[in-house]
């Protein structure tokens, strides 16, 4: 009843081609953005900003990057964390070595650097596919982390390889409170997510999907495989690179190469598997699930234990949290192998008919 | 652990949240503890944080707190993971607003991530034997304390020990620096190089890739080089592997000296026979001979309020390290109370002052019962390290035995390195260093 598109006529091409063709979706998005931009800064505490919202947005962006590559272009990659590392270290070095470079420009440059590295490691994708490609991208994961440790120039000769990011200056104003950082991250993520949403329904996005579904057929109908695949690697790495720069500058403030481990790459991969492969929204849902659920369990378990007087130590809580988390992943994958985004889609289908399903 | 203490505390914390702080009658000093007991280094964390918490309980039971102020704490599990560590810190921060002891993360990565934040939030960050070592320069890092000693000073002290062993002259000798190829292993290189230039010995650096469970090539190289000593900066599984590999190529273990992260029971016991004679540096001694440790076992575990589930860990290197960390934290609070009011809970800012003005003499250590547990410590604005001394201990096949007194590294050589690095940091971050001559 609420979510019915009957009566929404499209009278122009522009109306037919817009990003969100259903009015309710548009309203929903505007409300969501209004809450995120206006409501949250008023209500949330510092803990929410620094420990939950900022990392959630950053990982959603990284997952989005991987989703473009894996979900849309069908190229399995295990190097997302490494591309984030490239972005983080590139942004740091641009800030350090280019006098007076605006922070946003250095984020873009960081993304471009990561894109360049991504293209380099995307080259094997022209010859190998699937799991074999995943193993090839593992090389990126190990090589980049090794490279950042090996060459002290990259970390400005820091004896330990750890970099400490510079101040965040935006238009002559220093961003130092969590709220300001959150708003910066949110703006960048919203902008890039809308860009991705737009991109995947363009010629490029359709070419990616054609390659994903069957690359021989795609090349038969005239899609050139090499540029398409490499572009997917470039765009994906760009997203991961920007996410990495934000991770360093807006979240942790200091990063080390070892922090961008294979484990982190896996985490990002799990985000898109749980969230939904080949879905922009899925990246956000997956990031929320993987990041927030453990924190929620961590806080909720001692509370319930306290209610029932159970003797929980923080170690026990951690063990139980891992158990529950693993069980929930399995549950969701069994119930809906296509991820949370698919669940949302089903809900939407049902809503269209509700309350008269016949 | 599975006694009544923890749930009572959890319940207390809960009711605190519900009833607001007004309901609490006695003054309480809160310790935020972002620690770890699971994950890859969980075993280490259990001993360290077990010791830390046991000492807090001990002070509560024995002296009714610090001048009547009860010590409370809340743990949050970081799993040695940087992102989780930051989350934990943010979560505990709210509770630490009113009063806060020093934050011990036992993780270099997490401390790096917290250095700026903790200064902003005015919470003191203690990094005992790890972390950002140039924070020794307190003019740039007012809230960070690499207490007792640092990697660089340790390397320097080890070289000094070797020099004594080799008859007071290192010229023409050869020392191999075998290290874990990571931030941790590389940190001491700068000090080793400076020592090599000063003492005119040949330094051969050999990295081992993480995790280091294969060191055949490295030890072959060591055999070819025929060094007089091997200085060893290992981590985790790398330590026992190195000891076994040394045995295989026939390199005498009593000419290997490790850093303090290579010198716990967990490192040598798995190597079995191969570890006998191996030496390692430490800034706190092991064993229950220290009166304080024995007393903790009696008072805290006697009352059934001990934190460790595995009581055999009492008196191990890492347990005693946790106790030492707690001793210094509590002493800092005591010091702060002298200035800001006895019997009151101290805020992070006040405890920071306490940490910066610590003066723990041997007499004071004796009073606590911690004679020789750790070296004397005197901190100041321009010296957040306070001691720079280590002991060399040797594994006799069953336990660690001290084979030296407290050895101080070459401060004149090493501290300028910290100051240069801190200065660069200040420049990058746009920090104006405090004037230490005006601090009181």
- Same domain assignment for residues B271 and B406: yes
Structure tokens at A6: 């009957």
Q: Find out whether B43 and B266 touch, Cβ atoms under 8 Å.
A: yes
Residue A13 three-state SS: helix
- Over its C-alpha atoms, chain A yields an Rg (Å, rounded) of 21
CB neighbour class for A8 (10 Å; exposed up to 12, middle 13-18, buried from 19): exposed
Q: Average pLDDT in the A155-164 region?
A: 79
The predicted structure's pLDDT at residue B2: 42
Q: Find out whether A36 and A42 touch, Cβ atoms under 8 Å.
A: no
Three-state SS annotation for chain B:
CCCCHHHHHHHHHHHHHHHCHHHCCCCEEEEEEEECCCCCCHHHHHHHHHHHHHHHHHHHHHHCCECCEEEEEEEEECCCCHHHHHHHHHHHHCCCCCCCCCEECCCHHHHHHHHHHHHHHCCCEECCCCCCHHHHCCCCCCCEECCECCHHHHHHHHHHHHHHHCCCCCCCCEEEEEEECCHHHHCCHHHHHHHHHHHCCEEEEEEECCCCCCCHHHHHHHHHHCCCEEEEECCCHHHHHHHHHHHHHCCCHHHEEECCCCCCHHHHHHHHHHHCCCEEEECCCCCCCCHHHHHHHHHHHHCCCCCCCCHHHCCCHHHHHHHHHHHHHHHHHHHHHHHHCCCCCCCHHHHHHHHHCCEECHHHHHHHCCCCCCCCEECECCECCECCEEEEEEECCCCEEECCCCEECCHHHHHHHHHHHHHHHHHHHCCCCCCHHHCC
Tell if the CB–CB gap between B120 and A258 is shorter than 8 Å: no
CB neighbour class for A113 (10 Å; exposed up to 12, middle 13-18, buried from 19): buried
CA atoms of B361 and A81, how far apart (whole Å) = 48
- Same domain assignment for residues B240 and B225: yes
* Domain carrying residue B193: 151-282+391-413
- Same domain assignment for residues B193 and B310: no
- Same domain assignment for residues B278 and B295: no
Higher pLDDT, A94 or A319: A94
Looking at beta carbons, which pairs linking A218-226 to residues 24 or more positions away fall under 8 Å?
A225/A126, A226/A126
The predicted structure's pLDDT at residue B322: 94
Structure tokens at B235: 């981590």
The predicted structure's pLDDT at residue A1: 61
Phi, psi of B77 (to 5 degrees): -85, 120
What is residue A257's DSSP assignment?
G
- Same domain assignment for residues B98 and B178: no
Q: What is the DSSP string of A192-254?
A: HHHHHHHHTTSHHHHHHHHHHH-HHHHHHTT--HHHHHHHHHHHHHHHHHHHHHHIIIIIISE
B172 falls within a domain = yes
Tell if the CB–CB gap between A164 and B116 is shorter than 8 Å: yes
- Same domain assignment for residues B277 and B408: yes
Among residues B35, B114, B125, B108, which one has the least CA distance to residue B77? B35
Q: Find out whether B146 and B132 touch, Cβ atoms under 8 Å.
A: yes
- Using CA atoms, how far residue B281 sits from A64, A84, A128, in Å, is 48, 37, 51
Residue B92 CA from chain centroid, whole number: 21
Structure tokens at B408: 């101080």
The closest CB to that of B38, out of A159, A167, A315, belongs to A315
Q: Give the DSSP H/E element, type plus range, for residue A169.
A: strand A169-170
Among residues B202, B196, B197, B177, which one has the least CA distance to residue B187? B177
Question: Which residue, of B335, B364, B382, is where some domain finishes?
Answer: B382
Q: Is B425 on the interface with A (CB under 8 A)?
A: yes
Tell if the CB–CB gap between A46 and B421 is shorter than 8 Å: no
Tell if the CB–CB gap between B183 and A259 is shorter than 8 Å: no
Q: Is B83 on the interface with A (CB under 8 A)?
A: yes
The predicted structure's pLDDT at residue B299: 93
Look-up: residue for tokens 């790890």? B130
- Same domain assignment for residues B134 and B58: yes
B419 falls within a domain = no
Q: The domain spanning residue B182 has which CATH number?
A: 3.40.50.2300
How far does A133 lie from chain B, in Å, by closest CA?
Answer: 25
The closest CB to that of A51, out of B38, B86, B116, belongs to B86
Beta bridge partners, B207, equal B179
- Same domain assignment for residues B144 and B159: no
Q: Measured between beta carbons, which residues in chain A are less than 8 angstroms from residue B429?
A: 164, 166-167
Tell if the CB–CB gap between B430 and A167 is shorter than 8 Å: yes
Sign of CA dihedral B122, B127, B131, B136: positive
Residue A358's pLDDT band, with cuts at 50, 70 and 90, is low
Structure tokens at A240: 């991961």
CA atoms of A140 and A143, how far apart (whole Å) = 5
- Over its C-alpha atoms, chain B yields an Rg (Å, rounded) of 21
B106 falls within a domain = yes
Phi, psi of B235 (to 5 degrees): -160, 125
Q: Find out whether B329 and B104 touch, Cβ atoms under 8 Å.
A: yes
B64 falls within a domain = yes
Q: Find out whether A67 and A277 touch, Cβ atoms under 8 Å.
A: yes
Residue of A103, A142, A159, A326 for testing the chain B interface, max B β-carbons within 10 Å: A159
**Chain A residues with CB within 8 Å of chain B CB:** 45-47, 50-52, 55, 96, 149, 156, 159-162, 164, 166-167, 176, 251-256, 258-259, 295, 298-299, 302-303, 305-306, 309-315, 317-319, 322
Residue of A252, A271, A310 for testing the chain B interface, max B β-carbons within 10 Å: A252
The predicted structure's pLDDT at residue B440: 63
B338 falls within a domain = yes
User: Which residues neighbour B89 within 8 Å (Cβ) at sequence distance 6 or greater?
Assistant: B32, B34, B103, B105, B110, B114, B117, B118
How far does A168 lie from chain B, in Å, by closest CA?
Answer: 10
Q: Is B265 on the interface with A (CB under 8 A)?
A: no
- Same domain assignment for residues B272 and B405: yes
Tell if the CB–CB gap between A311 and B83 is shorter than 8 Å: no
Q: Find out whether A276 and A340 touch, Cβ atoms under 8 Å.
A: yes
Q: Which parts of chain B register pLDDT below 50? A: 1-25
Q: Is B77 on the interface with A (CB under 8 A)?
A: yes
CB neighbour class for B23 (10 Å; exposed up to 12, middle 13-18, buried from 19): exposed
- Same domain assignment for residues B160 and B135: no
Residue range B251-261, pLDDT digits in tens:
999 999 999 88
Q: Find out whether B280 and B245 touch, Cβ atoms under 8 Å.
A: no
Count helices and strands (H / E) in chain A: 16, 4
Q: Specify the range with the lowest mean pLDDT, choosing from A45-54, A159-168, A263-272.
A: A159-168
Q: Considering only residues 57 to 76 of chain B, which have any Cβ-Cβ distance to chain A shorter than 8 Å?
A: 75-76
Tell if the CB–CB gap between A305 and B1 is shorter than 8 Å: no
Q: Average pLDDT in the A221-244 region?
A: 95
Q: Specify the range with the lowest mean pLDDT, choosing from A26-35, A68-77, B235-244, B322-331.
A: B235-244
Report the domain count for chain B.
2
- A59: nearest CA partner in chain B: B83
Q: Find out whether B406 and B377 touch, Cβ atoms under 8 Å.
A: no
What is residue A309's DSSP assignment?
T
B184 falls within a domain = yes
- Same domain assignment for residues B201 and B115: no
B428 falls within a domain = no
CB neighbour class for A324 (10 Å; exposed up to 12, middle 13-18, buried from 19): middle
The predicted structure's pLDDT at residue B79: 85
- Same domain assignment for residues B262 and B405: yes
B425 falls within a domain = no
Tell if the CB–CB gap between A160 and B108 is shorter than 8 Å: yes
Residue range A112-134, pLDDT digits in tens:
999 999 999 999 888 888 889 99
Residue of B15, B31, B47, B87 for testing the chain A interface, max A β-carbons within 10 Å: B87
Residue A288's pLDDT band, with cuts at 50, 70 and 90, is very high
- Using CA atoms, how far residue A295 sits from A51, A64, A318, A353, in Å, is 10, 22, 10, 36
- A305: nearest CA partner in chain B: B7
């Amino acid at each position: 009843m609420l979510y019915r598109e009957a009566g929404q006529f499209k009278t122009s091409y522009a109306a037919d081609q817009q990003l969100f063709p259903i009015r309710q979706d548009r309203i929903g998005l505007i409300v969501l953005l209004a809450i995120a931009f206006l409501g949250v800064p008023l209500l949330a505490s510092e803990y929410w900003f620094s420990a939950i919202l900022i990392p959630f947005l950053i990982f959603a962006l990284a997952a989005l990057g991987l989703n473009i590559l894996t979900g849309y272009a069908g190229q399995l990659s295990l190097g997302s964390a490494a591309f984030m590392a490239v972005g983080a270290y590139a942004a740091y070095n641009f800030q350090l070595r280019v006098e007076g470079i605006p922070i946003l420009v250095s984020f873009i440059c960081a993304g471009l650097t990561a894109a360049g590295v991504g293209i380099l490691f995307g080259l094997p994708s022209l010859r190998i596919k699937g799991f074999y490609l995943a193993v090839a991208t593992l090389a990126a994961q190990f090589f980049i982390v090794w490279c950042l440790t090996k060459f002290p120039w990259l970390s400005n000769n820091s004896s330990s390889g750890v970099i400490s990011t510079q101040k965040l200056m935006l238009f002559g104003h220093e961003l130092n409170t969590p709220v300001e950082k959150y708003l910066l991250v949110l703006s960048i993520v919203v902008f890039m997510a809308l860009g991705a949403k737009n991109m995947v329904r363009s010629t490029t996005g359709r070419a990616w999907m054609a390659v994903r579904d069957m690359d021989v057929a795609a090349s038969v109908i005239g899609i050139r495989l090499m540029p398409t695949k490499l572009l997917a690697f470039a765009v994906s790495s760009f997203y991961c690179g920007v996410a990495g720069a934000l991770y360093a500058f807006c979240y942790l403030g200091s990063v080390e190469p070892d922090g961008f481990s294979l484990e982190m790459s896996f985490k990002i991969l799990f985000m898109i598997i749980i969230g939904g492969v080949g879905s922009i929204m899925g990246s956000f849902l997956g990031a929320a699930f993987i990041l927030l659920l453990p924190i929620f369990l961590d806080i909720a378990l001692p509370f319930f234990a306290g209610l029932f007087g159970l003797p929980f130590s923080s170690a026990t809580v951690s063990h139980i949290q891992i158990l529950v988390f693993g069980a929930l992943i399995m549950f969701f994958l069994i119930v809906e192998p296509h991820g949370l985004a698919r669940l949302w889609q089903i809900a939407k289908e049902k809503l269209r008919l509700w309350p008269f399903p016949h | 652990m599975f006694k009544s203490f923890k749930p009572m505390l959890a319940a207390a914390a809960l009711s605190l949240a519900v009833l607001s702080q007004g309901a609490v009658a006695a003054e309480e000093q809160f310790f935020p503890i972002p620690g770890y007991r699971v994950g890859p280094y969980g075993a280490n964390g259990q001993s360290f944080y077990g010791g830390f918490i046991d000492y807090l309980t001990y002070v509560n039971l024995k002296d009714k707190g610090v001048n009547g102020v009860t010590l409370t704490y809340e743990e949050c599990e970081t799993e040695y993971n940087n992102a989780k560590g930051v989350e934990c810190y943010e979560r505990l921060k709210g509770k630490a607003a009113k009063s806060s002891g020093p934050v011990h993360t036992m993780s270099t990565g997490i401390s790096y991530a917290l250095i700026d934040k903790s200064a902003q939030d005015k919470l003191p960050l203690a990094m005992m034997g790890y972390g950002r070592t140039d924070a020794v320069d307190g003019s740039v890092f007012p809230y960070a304390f690499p207490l007792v000693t640092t990697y660089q000073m340790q390397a320097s002290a080890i070289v000094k020990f070797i020099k004594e062993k080799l008859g007071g002259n290192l010229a023409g000798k050869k020392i191999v620096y075998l290290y874990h190829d990571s931030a941790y292993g590389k940190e001491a290189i700068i000090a080793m190089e400076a020592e090599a230039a000063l003492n005119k010995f040949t330094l051969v650096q050999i990295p081992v890739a993480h995790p280091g469970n294969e060191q055949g090539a490295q030890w072959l190289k060591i055999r070819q080089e025929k060094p007089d000593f091997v200085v060893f900066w290992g981590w985790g599984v790398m330590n026992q592997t190195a000891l076994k590999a040394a045995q295989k190529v026939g390199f005498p273990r009593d000419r290997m000296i490790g850093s303090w992260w290579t010198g716990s029971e967990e490192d040598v016991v798995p190597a079995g026979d191969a570890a006998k004679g191996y030496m390692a540096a430490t800034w706190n001694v092991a064993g229950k001979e220290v009166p304080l440790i024995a007393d903790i076992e009696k008072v805290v575990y006697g009352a059934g309020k001990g934190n460790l589930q595995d009581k055999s860990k009492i008196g191990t290197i890492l347990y005693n390290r946790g106790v030492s960390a707690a001793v210094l934290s509590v002493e800092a609070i005591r010091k702060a109370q002298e200035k800001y009011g006895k019997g009151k809970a101290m805020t992070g800012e006040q405890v920071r002052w306490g940490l910066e003005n610590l003066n723990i003499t041997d007499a004071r250590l004796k009073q606590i019962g911690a004679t020789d547990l750790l070296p004397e410590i005197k901190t100041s604005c321009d010296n957040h390290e306070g001691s720079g001394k280590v002991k060399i201990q040797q594994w006799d096949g069953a336990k660690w035995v001290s084979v030296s007194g407290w050895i101080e590294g070459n401060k004149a050589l090493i501290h300028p390195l910290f100051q240069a690095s801190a200065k660069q940091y200040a420049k990058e971050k746009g920090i104006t260093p405090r004037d230490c001559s005006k601090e009181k």
